Structure 1
Amino acid sequence: MLRNYLIIAWRNLLRNKLRAAIHILGLAIGIAACFVIYNMLSYEYGFNRDVPGYDKIFRITTVTSHGEDRWPNVGVPFPMGDAVKDEVGGVESLARIFDNANAMVGLAERPTAFGRQRHVVYTEDKYFDIFPAKWLGGNPEKALNRPNTVVLTQSSVNKYFGEISVQEALGKELIYNDSISVQVTGIIEDIKENNDLIYTDYISLSTLTSSTSARKFINAENWDNVNSASQLYVQLSHPQQLSSYETSLDQIIDKYLNNEEGWSTEFFIEPLSDLHFTVNPNHTANKFTLMGLSIMAVFILMIACMNFINLETAQAIVRAKEIGIRKTLGSSRFQLMLQFFSETLVIALLALMLALLLTEFSVHYFAEMIPADMEINYLSTGNILFLLGLVVLVTLLSAIYPALMLTGYNPVKAIKNQLKDIHQNRWGYFVRKNLTVLQFTLSIGFIIGVLVISHQLKYLANESMGFNKELVLYADTPFLDESGRNDQLKESLERLSFVKSVSLSGDILASRSLFTTTIERHKGEEIEELGIQAKNGDSLFVDTYEVPLLVGKRIENDSTEILINETFMKDLGYDFPADAIGEQLVLYGERNVEVVGVVKDFNSRSLYEQIRPLVIFYEPEYFTKINVKLQANTNLQEAKSLLDKEMKELYPEEDSGFRFFDELVANFYQSEQKLQEVLSFATVLAILISGMGLFGLSAFTIAQRTKEISIRKVLGASASQILVLISREYMVLILIAFVLAVVPTWLLLEEWLKQFAYRTPMPISLYLLAGFLAFLLCVVIVGLHSLRTINRNPSEVLKSE
């Protein structure tokens, strides 16, 4: 029997090729979209879940607040580790890390450099208790328990020493950042799982804490400094009792931090599984974006299923006689429904095969929208079960209503063509109208989403951040370098004719990193602590980025002079910049500094965040960046090549060279750009499927009204009158769809825009544009069908009457 059902299903497909093509293509697009996004979700949410006991591992993070402003930081004050170890119960294991991305690495035995390595970290031996590794050599309990030791992964060993044995590699020496000599004491396998904590070089943390200058750099004793590179991981014995741990953290705040009035510091416990979605320069995963992608995939599939239902209910009157005859010959309703489900299953399976081809095409063609490391294993158990489940779901969703409607016809009335006025047909007409409205509601919602997100991204690109990001390049220089090469490089670059200015600094003007600290203000015996963001730069730092100096002078390379921004000026209680000049403050609790200038507020991070109170100071021993401003009309690529050449002469070990600052700023919104691209693609799919549905539905409807159109034409109706008459019904449906789309998209986009401290007002004109585009699509599709029918000779149509 099933064989007969499938044969009949295949014949019906061949008999109605246009309808079958619309069904298969629409469902294939929906299945492919769901399949790709399912794999994206599996990939993104699979991070860090391969770590044994991941549900017991947490990172402690910091949030500093002032009034309504909140500044999250993935780091903690460096002394936090010892406090948690001593004063928080239920901590099975604890490990501090200090991230040293872009560390310069070279051999100790000969002048060989391997350039900057991105995955270098300072940590302690307990780290491997929390994040177990497979050890190939060395003692896990002792490898990092003394200064100047390092544990390497197998790939790092091969990179630094070539193809040598593990035993030969142990005891070898490396030089990090031109000044830190370490000995290899352990070798582990490379971490291959989806993991956000993939490091290749693990230097003992005591290497930093045993050096006076390094301790000062990491603020080893200072509770008021929070650096995003200084992170703390804990393994908890009772992870289900997070509230009790957070209470213990609150007690640490009360004991060690003296928050001034209006300021507060909070510590939060972040699950390891959430690490992938936290602000982090190594990835751009965003839960809101992933949720949006999931909703889009479901909606696209829904639109395809609605197409199927729409066209099948429209065609129901054509198949009524077939159903009537089958019922008369003894077919039960169950058998008829089974036949219709079989037909739908054949369409769904054909759509699945096409969907796999579309998936392969989309993965390659739209590679920029998909995570770089994501691979789709079509034969994995999860993917096979997902596709089979999706086919069953599509079959049920698409077939259930048409099957019930068709098999519910009265056989006598069906054979006698008496179905036009019965209740079931009116109900089918009602369903078709509402499904068409819902289809276009979703399509219009997608169009609005693309337009508003594009508008916000354009706003971010054009919004002034308070500095000039154009014609600026920057490069890394060695950490704690005492050779004087920084100054030599600066002098050599300043001699180039196309260079306008050169500056040395601890960080570039705007980046993802964040260093916050406190600065003291003495009023007699009273000491007021103020939270600030700190930037380390020389006298030309603000000039290189063209940050306006409102009043005062630049830092004259004097460690007792500082610049402040307008926000900090107001925190000091001044209304006018000139009044803040000469203000005496104490930085780090030990250095007396004087405000010599006030700069205009600028965004040192993305436009997600409000501008923080900021201090620019001079501390040349911690300079790690060189910044170059080019003259106008300079050939950028030629200038970059010459800059790289100059740098290579002084720093032959450097391999990264100069980078363009404006490209880094653009990457602040990489997640949003990816969302825009994916949403644009989804919008095209939604419009394509809806358009195909409207094409098929209007073709059938107009075919049913061919004689009516011919009679109206004979009676004197003009082509435009007939066109308006036919299109009017669809135009009303589009208008209803537009009204239904506005409210939910407004609420969703309003929620999305709340992420940004700087945002565009909701653009109402774009909503109207989206409605007009949908209206235009309807007019074009229905109009083309109508005109072809209107232009037919009425005598040919009516000659059979």
Structure 2
Amino acid sequence: MLKNYIITAWRNLLKGRVFNLINITGLTVAVACSVLLFLTADFQLSYDKFHKDVKDIYQVYFTQNKDTETNRDTPMPEPITPVLKSEYPEIKYISRLGNGGALIRYKGKQLEQRLNYIDQDFFKIFTIETSLGNKNSMLSGLHDIVLNEKVAQAVFGHENPIGKTVELNYTGQSFESFVVSGVTKDLPYNSSLHFDMLVRFENYRDYQANLDKWDVGNHSVFLKLREGTNQAAFEKKLVPFTNKYFKENIENLKRDGSKPDANGQVFTINLLPFAENHFNTEVGGLEGNQISILYIYTLLAIVIFILLIACINFINLNIARAFNRAREVGVRKTLGAGKDQLLWQFLTETSLVCLLAFIAGIALSSFILPYFKQLFGGYISLKMLLQPAELTIALFVFLIISFIAGYYPAWLMLRYKTVQVLKGSVNTTKPGKVRNALLVTQFALSTLLIICTLVTWQQMRYIQTKPLGFNRTEVLSIPLGPNVLISSGNDTKSRPGIHALQLLRNALQNQPDIVAITAAHSNLGLGTDGHTSTQGVTFTYKGHEIGTNWLQVDYDYLKTLDIKLSNGRDFSRDFPGDSSALIINEKMARQLGGKNLLGSYLPVNGEEHPMQIVGIVKDYNFRSLKEKIEPLTLVMNTGKSVEYVFVRVKSQNLVQSFDKIKSTWKSLFPNDEFQGSWLSENTERLYKGEKSLGNMFVSGAIIAIIISCIGLLAIAMMVMAQRTKEIGIRKVLGSSVAGIVALVSADFLKLVLLASVISFPIAWIVMNGWLQNFAYRIDISWWIFLLAGLLAVLIAFATVSFQAIKAALANPVKSLRTE
């Protein structure tokens, strides 16, 4: 019986080649795009799930309920980890994690790598496979080091590294000896944790100085709770601990009018589930790793939209074909075919079409996968579809589409009586409410995607063109790697990088295209080195706790960045006392009271060593436009390194200036890669996720519209075929081609207009919610909805009118004779 169903289905498939080809084409495109988008979302959702007992792993963070806002911070003080471990048996393992970089040297070979500082429990918290060494004894010595496979291969080649001594420079001053105690396998791409080298946390910068300081946070803390421990209950048990060790913080917050939470607390220690780390943009987690879960929902929504639009095409075409096959169904019923047999016949035909479309879709997705990864990035592969969960979802989607697209048309035909079908009294020209509803749904989704695309494009254009308060088109940012910092020389060990800055100044300052050169401890935007960081300080001023971002800079910082002063002056070599001077932004000035601040002293380093305000700069966006401008204090770099050099050039010859600076760098530092980039590029990198989202909206909208038009074209062909006689009679009675086209197209255009109206409020709700992620955002304009509606109508009209004109131009005599 099944064999007979398949043979009959294949014959019908060949008989209706045009409509089946349209069906297969639309569904193939939908499947190919949906597979790629689904795998992208699936990859993101799989982040960190490979860790054993990931549900029990947490990152520690502070919550401060201030008077106007709630702050959540992950930097922890050094003593908190050992004290938590000793006082709470619910903690099974706990480890600190500090970030840094270092030069590793072995037998004359020297490499710059990422260095992290951890406790031994780190290997018990996270699932990290080892290729050499015993995990239980790794880092048992204070001067042990663990390498990942790539670094071990680069440093040692085929030599066994275990027990070998390497030299490490992680201070920017001198090399120290470390013994390799283990080699780990490289972590997968869907890991929030990535490292090149690991050493004990006791080697972390300023470790001894901060060992007893509870008010200095400079690293992350991760812990693993014992199985069965409830997160919320454990957080409540941390309240006495918090009150004991952070008493001063709590008193300061209460003094400044903080608003307690539901439990009456103003300062708490909380736990962030590590399984949610990748999507938690509110707390921060591991720096530079988080993305909004909204992007994943968007991807999945686009997948559903595209598949739904393709399914609607499928159903509408099957309904139209089912009516054309009405007499066939009637004859089958007369010859004794039961309802179940006819139903299975329709389902078999539909499944065959779906199977062909799914196979073609996966083949197409394999072909476009390299281009997709180039456009959107990511590490997806079609092998991911073979995993049990993904394979189950794919099979479920296949069965659902096959069932719905096959069952409804069959059910519709089986409703009619056999005699009625054979007499031809079934009305096949009436479109029906179902077809109309499906068309409306289809174009409502398409219009929704058009609006989302327009809003995303407008917001990204706003971000790219909004003045940030500094010059980002003519300023080049150059990271100074560890090797360059070491070359600062013995006379500047306390300020690594200053010597490198001076070398660049001497080499470039007489060049006609160079306007100014400076340096700072932090970059603006996200440079090619992939690092971004901020530093903050708090102090008490006039009985209130003041918090500010803290940026160490060198001379000419304001001139180079073209940052405007609103009052006072810049740091100057003519004022030796500027080593203890401050320049603040207007936001900081308002926090301090905003009046007569020039010449005032702030107890930033304590009452014994106050620092004087010499200038106030206009507010500028030193962070992403997702965040509002915060208080900022600039201080002359006197005690720590500068890690970024900024060079401002004239606007006439940007490319030539870039090449000149790069060649100068190569002549001064021949062994170090030049990683310079324009600040405009740095700021754009901050919105990589948003740009990808915009590209996905554009791609999804185009694909959805194409699939909708394919379906609409097929329906129009069917309608024109059914109304051939009517069109012929109208032409004989004097109707013009334009009149006939308008008459035939009107029914479809009404549906598209209705779809647009339905999509407007949904699109506004969705995109208004997305825009809330930005502190600086556009207002959604009315013309966006008008433009989207017009586009949908024009596209639909062009699709339908093509067939309508063809039918209207046909010879009416031939049309009537055919009827």
Task: Work out whether the TM-score is over 0.5.
Answer: yes
Partner of 1:733: 751
Worse-superposed segment, 317-326 or 29-38: 29-38
Matched, 1:19 2:19: yes
How far off is 1:248 after superposition?
4.2
Equivalent residue for 1:273? Answer: 275
Give how far 1:395 is off. Answer: 0.3
CA contact 2:66–2:257 (8 Å) conserved in 1: yes
> In 2, distance between residues paired with 1:687 and 1:779?
13
Moved more, 27-36 or 130-139: 130-139
The amino acid across from 1:305 in the alignment is: C
Quote the residue 2:447 is aligned against: 444
1:561 to 560, 566, 581: 581
The aligned counterpart of 2:81 is 81
| Deviation (angstroms), 1:580 | 1.3
Aligned to 1:486: 500
Does residue 586 in structure 1 map to residue 603 in structure 2?
A: yes
- Structure 1 residue 46 and structure 2 residue 46: aligned? yes
Deviation per CA, 1:600-627: give whole Å up to 9, x if none. Answer: 1112211111111111112333223232
Aligned partner of 1:494: which letter? Q
Extract unaligned runs of 5+ from structure 2: 259-265, 493-498
Deviation at 1:655, TM superposition (A): 2.2
What's the counterpart of residue 57 of structure 2? Answer: 57
For 1:62 and 1:470, the matched residues in 2 are separated by 38
Q: Is the 8 A contact 1:444 1:770 kept in 2?
A: yes
Aligned match of 2:292 in 282, 286, 305?
Answer: 286
Paired residues of 2:470 and 2:563 also in contact (CA < 8 A): yes
Structure 1 residue 712, shift from structure 2 partner: 1.4
CA distance in 1, matches of 2:818, 2:481: 91
Asked if 1:463 corresponds to 2:469, the answer is: no
Distance 1:478 1:323, change over 3 A: closer
**What are the Cα deviations for residues 206-231 of structure 1, in whole angstroms up to 9, with x where unaligned?**
1135666xx4xxx665544555xx21
Do the aligned partners of 1:537 and 1:623 also contact (CA within 8 Å) in 2?
A: no
Structure 1 residues 628, 513: CA separation in 2 closer, same or farther (over 3 Å shift)? closer
User: Structure 1 residue 573 and structure 2 residue 578: aligned?
Assistant: no
Amino acid at match of 1:453: T
Assess, with a 3 A threshold, how the Cα gap between structure 1 residues 497 and 250 changes in structure 2: closer, same or farther: farther
2:694 corresponds to: 676
Q: What is the match of residue 338 of structure 1?
A: 344
Q: Which residue of 2 aligns with 1:163?
A: 158
Partner residue, 2:36: 36
CA spacing shift, 1:9–1:108, aligned 2, 3 Å: closer
Match of 1:497 among 507, 512, 528: 512
Whole-angstrom CA distance in 1 between matches of 2:801 and 2:410: 31
Q: Which amino acid is the alignment partner of residue 694 of structure 2?
A: Q
The 8 Å contact of residues 502 and 626 in structure 1, kept in 2 or not, is answered as no
Mapped to 1, the partners of 2:519 and 2:635 lie a distance apart of 12
* Cross-structure match for 2:204: 208
Instruction: Note closer, same or farther for the CA distance 1:210–1:783 as it changes in structure 2 (3 Å cut).
Output: closer
The match for 2:318 is 312
Of 185, 191, 195, the residue aligned with 2:191 is 195
Assess, with a 3 A threshold, how the Cα gap between structure 1 residues 651 and 5 changes in structure 2: closer, same or farther. Answer: same
Letter in 2 for 1:550: S
Q: 2:176 aligns with which of 178, 181, 187?
A: 181
Cα 1:487–1:608 change in 2 (3 A) is closer
- Is residue 145 of structure 2 the alignment partner of residue 150 of structure 1? yes
Shift, 1:768, TM fit: 0.8
Task: Give yes or no for the alignment of 1:530 onto 2:546.
Answer: yes
Aligned partner of 1:354 in structure 2 is 360
Partner SS, residue 620 of structure 1: coil
Q: Aligned-pair distance for 1:376?
A: 2.0
| 1:693 aligned counterpart, secondary structure | helix
Kindly indicate whether residue 524 of structure 2 is the aligned counterpart of residue 517 of structure 1. Answer: no
> Are the structure 2 counterparts of residues 266 and 755 from structure 1 closer, same or farther at C-alpha, using a change threshold of 3 Å?
farther
Q: CA RMSD in A?
A: 2.6
**TM-score after normalising by structure 2:** 0.89
The letter of the residue matching 2:598 is: I
Q: How far apart are residue 504 of structure 1 and its match?
A: 2.0
Q: Given that residues 132 and 182 in structure 2 are in contact (C-alpha distance below 8 angstroms), is that contact kept between their aligned partners in structure 1? A: yes
Residue 657 of structure 1: aligned partner: 675
Is the CA contact (8 Å cut-off) linking 1:341 and 1:395 kept in structure 2? Answer: yes
Distance 1:165 1:146, change over 3 A: closer
Q: What are the superposed Cα offsets for residues 123-164 of structure 1, whole Å, 9 maximum, x if unpaired?
A: 222222212544555665665355444222232122123321
The answer as to whether partners of 1:363 and 1:370 remain within 8 angstroms in 2 is: no
Q: Deviations over 1:747-774 (max 9, x none)?
A: 1111111111111001221111010001
1:453 matches 2:456: yes
Identity of aligned residues (%): 27
1:643-700 CA-to-partner distances (Å, cap 9, x unmatched) read 3343344444422432322212101111011111112111111101110111011111
1:317-339: per-residue Cα shift (whole Å, max 9, x none)?
Answer: 21111111100100000000000
Are residues 1:395 and 2:402 paired? yes
Q: Quote the residue 2:495 is aligned against.
A: none
Q: How big is the shift at 1:288?
A: 0.7
Superposed, 1:105-120 pairs within 5 Å as 105-107=103-105, 110=108, 112-114=109-111, 116-117=112-113, 119-120=114-115
Asked if 1:629 corresponds to 2:631, the answer is no
The secondary structure found in structure 2 opposite 1:621 is coil
Displacement, 1:498?
2.3
Q: Report the Cα distance in structure 2 between the residues aligned to 1:592 and 1:248, rounded to whole angstroms.
A: 39
CA distance in 2: counterparts of 1:644 and 1:284, whole angstroms: 32
Q: Structure 1 length normalisation: TM-score?
A: 0.91
| Aligned position for 1:234 | 223
Equivalent position SS for 2:50: coil
Partner of 2:262: none
Deviation at 1:120, TM superposition (A): 1.8
Secondary structure in 1 aligned to 2:305? helix
Measured in 1, the distance between the counterparts of 2:206 and 2:135 equals: 21
3-state SS of paired residue (2:410): helix
Do 1:567 and 1:611's aligned partners in 2 also have CA atoms closer than 8 Å? yes
- 1:709·1:790 contact (CA, 8 Å) conserved in 2? yes
Question: CA 1:242–1:81 in structure 2 vs 1: closer, same or farther (change >3 Å)?
Answer: same
Give the match for residue 546 of structure 1.
Answer: 562
> CA–CA distance in 1 between the matches of 2:786 and 2:815?
41
Give me the whole-angstrom Cα distance separating, in 1, the residues matched to 2:68 and 2:725.
69
Contact 2:519 2:646 in 1 (8 A): no
Distance across 2 between alignment mates of 1:666 and 1:209: 32
Distance, in Å, in 2 between the alignment partners of 1:689 and 1:38 is 18
Indicate how the Cα distance of structure 1 residues 661 and 77 shifts in structure 2: closer, same or farther if over 3 A, else same: farther
What amino acid maps onto 1:566 in structure 2?
A: E
Output the amino acid matched with 2:46: G
Letter in 1 for 2:93: S
**Distance change (3 Å), C-alpha of 1:586 and 1:284:** same
Given that 1:445 and 1:741 are in contact with CA atoms closer than 8 Å, whether structure 2 keeps it comes out as: yes
